[in-house]
Amino acid sequence: MLITETDEKSRLQWWKDAKFGLFIHWGLYALPAKGEWAMYAARTPVAEYEQLAKQFNPVKFSAKEWVNLAKTAGMKYLVITAKHHDGFAMFHSKVEKFNIVDATPFQRDPIKELAEECQKQGIKLCFYYSHVIDWHHPHSIHEYYNNTWDYQLEDKAFYRYWNQIAKPQVKELLTRYGPIGLMWFDTAGGLSKKDSREMVDLVHNLQPDCLVNSRVSHWPGMGDYQSKGDNEIPMYAEDTKPWETPMTLNKSWGYHIQDQDWKKPESIIYKLVNIVSKGGNLLLNVGPTAEGLIPEQSTKRLLEIGDWINRNSEAIYETDPSPFPYEFDWGAITVKSGKVYLHLYHKYCPQNELVLCGLKCKVAKAYFLANGIPLETNQSYQAEGDHHELRILLPSELPDQYVSVMALELDEQLEVDESFIQQASGTIKLDLVHADIDLKKQQATWDFKVVNPGTFEVVLVNFKKEGVDWAEDGGKKHVVNVNGQRLEVIPKEDIILEESQSCQYPYREVNSNLGRIKLHRDTFTLSLISDTVREKPQFTEIWQAEAVKLRAIKLIPVI
C-alpha cells in the first residue's frame, strides 16, 4: 500500500496533538507480582507458567473505570498489552488457546470491553504487541531473549511462529475491535528488514490510519514515529521524526508488589512539560494487579496530574515545541499560534522577576493561565551583542501547583535568537545534539554568545547507567579549547543530580567540573575532544546500549 507524505502527516496529527497517553502493562505476570519479565527472570517452565492462567480471575476489572481514569488524567489515548513477551493473549484469540477467555476462569475479553468504553469516552484505543519475543511459543526467536530452558534454539523454525501466531494475532486485533490508533511493537532484535516491512504493511493495509511505532524494527526508518528508549527524554531537536517517551510511574512496568519507588506528582508534571516542550509525547505506564485494579499510588498520581492539566490544557494540547535550542533552568516553553507559554517550575523559578533572553518579537500581554491576572513586562534590545531581553515581574506567590504557566500574547510573528546565548542566570548550555561533529577527531564544536563577561566553570554533563563503573566508562581524558584557553581533564563524578529535567532511571545525570575559563563579551567557538563524542542516534533503543552518554557542556558563571 502506497502512503504519501501528506497521508502520513494527516494520520499522525491526532497523535501529535494528543501529547499524553496511558500505557497499561497487564497480564499473567500480575499474579507472581514481580514485573512483566518474571517468567524469563525465574526461567519458569511453560507448563508451570500455564498453570497461572487457571488462577487468573481479575473480577475487579472495570473498563469504564480504567478509561475514565485515563480521561480524567488528561490522557487522549490508551495503549494496553494485548500480548507481552510471555505469549499470553489478553484478548480472545482464535489462533492460540493461551488467552484470557479460553485459559482462565475469567472468560471475558477485556480488550473488547475497553474498545467499547474507549469509543464511548472518546479515547483512542491502541495495542502493545510483542511480535518477536514469545517465551511460550517453541518457535519464537529473538536475538537475545529466548526461552532456552524449554526449547532448543537449533530446533526453532521462526516462520512457524511468525505466520501462525504473530501475523494472525495482529490481524485479529485490527479486524475485531474497531478503529485502532496505533500498534506499539516492542523488542525486534534479529527481525529482518523484509519481515519488518511486512508487519508495517500488514497494519497499514488492515487499518490505513493506524500508526506503527519504530520498535517494530531495528532497521532505521521503520514505523510512523520514534519510540525512545524506556524512560528516555531526548535533548531539543534530537529526533527528526515525531517521538514518544514511554515512562513508568515507579521502576517496573508490570505489577511488582515490592516496587514502591514512586515518582512524585511534581516530578511527573516536570517531565511531561519538558517532553511536550521538545515536541514529544509522554506515554505514562501503570501496572494493574491480578484482581484488575490499577494501584492506588498510580491512581492518586494520575488524578493530580489531571487536575494540573485541566487548568493548563491550552499550553499542552495541540502545541508546538519551544523555538529555542536548549533547556531553561527555570522551566520550559511551548507555543501556539500567536502565543508563547512559559512553564515555570516552582522549585527552580527565580523570585521577583523572570528574564527571557532571545525573544525578538513584541509581547502585547502576559498573564498566568491559572488566574488571568495581567503581569508587568519590559522588553529591551542591546545593539552591542545583538541581545534581546524580556523582563516579567512575578507575584510574591505563583498561582498554581508545582508548575505555573504564563501566556505571552504576541503583537508580531514569533521570532527568536536561535543561537546559543547566555541566559539571565549567566549560564550557557551547549547540547551535544546541536554540535558540529567530527568523528575522525572525536570532536564536538559549538558557537555561542557571551553577553555578561566573567569567569566560568566548565561543566561536563553525562548520563550514567545504573551499575556502571565511572572509572571504566566515563573517566577518560577530555580536552576543551575556547578563546585560546585549554583544559585537559579526566572528569570525575563531582555531582550526581537527584532531580534532572531530562534524565531518570535507569540513568542518572553526572556533572563533572573540568576547570575555569575567562570570557569577555563576544561570540566564541568551543571545542570538546573526547572518545564519548557521538553522532546523534538514528534509530530506536540506542539509549539502552551505552553505559555513559555525553549530553552537554555547561558554562556556569563563577560568583
| Domain limits, the chain | 5-315, 322-418, 428-557
Provide the pLDDT confidence category of residue 72 given band limits of 50, 70 and 90: very high
- Helix ranges restricted to H, 237-295: 265-277
3-state secondary structure of 481: strand
Q: Of the ranges 211-215, 229-233, 289-293, which one carries the lowest mean pLDDT score?
A: 229-233
Per DSSP, 92 falls in state -
* Interacting residues of 19 by C-beta distance below 8 A, sequence separation 6+: 76, 272, 276, 281, 282, 316, 317, 319
CA angle 239, 241, 246 (to 5 degrees): 75
The predicted pLDDT at position 4 comes to 56
- Helix ranges restricted to H, 281-346: 296-312
Across the range 63-71, mean pLDDT stands at 98
Q: Which three cell numbers stand for residue 131?
A: 511480535
Provide the pLDDT confidence category of residue 414 given band limits of 50, 70 and 90: very high
**pLDDT greater than 90 at residue 546:** no
**pLDDT greater than 80 at residue 196:** yes
Handedness of CA 72, 73, 79, 82 (dihedral sign): negative
Q: Of the ranges 174-178, 249-253, 280-284, 472-476, which one carries the lowest mean pLDDT score?
A: 472-476
The beta-strand segments (E) located in 164-231 are 182-185, 211-212, 226-227
The predicted pLDDT at position 453 comes to 94
The predicted pLDDT at position 135 comes to 98
- H or E stretch at 305: helix 296-312
Quote the CA–CA distance of 339 and 211 in Å, as a whole number: 30
Quote the CA–CA distance of 116 and 179 in Å, as a whole number: 11
Amino acid at 357: C
**pLDDT greater than 90 at residue 20:** yes
Q: Which three cell numbers stand for residue 456?
A: 566560568
Provide the pLDDT confidence category of residue 537 given band limits of 50, 70 and 90: low
Provide the pLDDT confidence category of residue 433 given band limits of 50, 70 and 90: confident
The predicted pLDDT at position 539 comes to 56
Mean pLDDT of the chain, nearest integer: 94
What pTM did the predictor assign? Answer: 0.94
The predicted pLDDT at position 384 comes to 83
The predicted pLDDT at position 240 comes to 80
Q: Which three cell numbers stand for residue 39?
A: 517468567
Across the range 237-245, mean pLDDT stands at 88
Quote the CA–CA distance of 497 and 165 in Å, as a whole number: 45
Top CATH class, 5-315: alpha beta
Q: Of the ranges 54-63, 322-331, 333-342, which one carries the lowest mean pLDDT score?
A: 322-331
Give residue-wise pLDDT tens across range 99-157: 999 999 999 999 999 999 999 999 999 999 999 999 999 999 999 999 999 999 999 99
Per the CB < 8 A criterion, the answer to whether 310 and 298 are in contact is no
**pLDDT greater than 70 at residue 446:** yes
**pLDDT greater than 60 at residue 543:** no
**pLDDT greater than 80 at residue 182:** yes
Give residue-wise pLDDT tens across range 511-523: 999 999 999 999 9
Q: Of the ranges 153-162, 195-204, 419-428, which one carries the lowest mean pLDDT score?
A: 419-428
Per DSSP, 541 falls in state T
Per DSSP, 543 falls in state G
The predicted pLDDT at position 185 comes to 97
Count the alpha carbons within 13 Å of 228 in the hemisphere toward its beta carbon. 25
The predicted pLDDT at position 538 comes to 61
Quote the CA–CA distance of 180 and 17 in Å, as a whole number: 17
Superfamily, domain 428-557: Galactose-binding domain-like (2.60.120.260)
% of the chain exceeding 90 in pLDDT: 84
Cα radius of gyration (the chain): 25
Is 322-418 CATH 2.60.40.1180?
yes
The predicted pLDDT at position 542 comes to 47
In the chain, what is the greatest distance between 2 CA atoms, to the nearest angstrom? 76
**pLDDT greater than 90 at residue 325:** no
The strand order across the sheet containing 353-357 reads 353-357, 387-393, 377-382
Per DSSP, 89 falls in state B
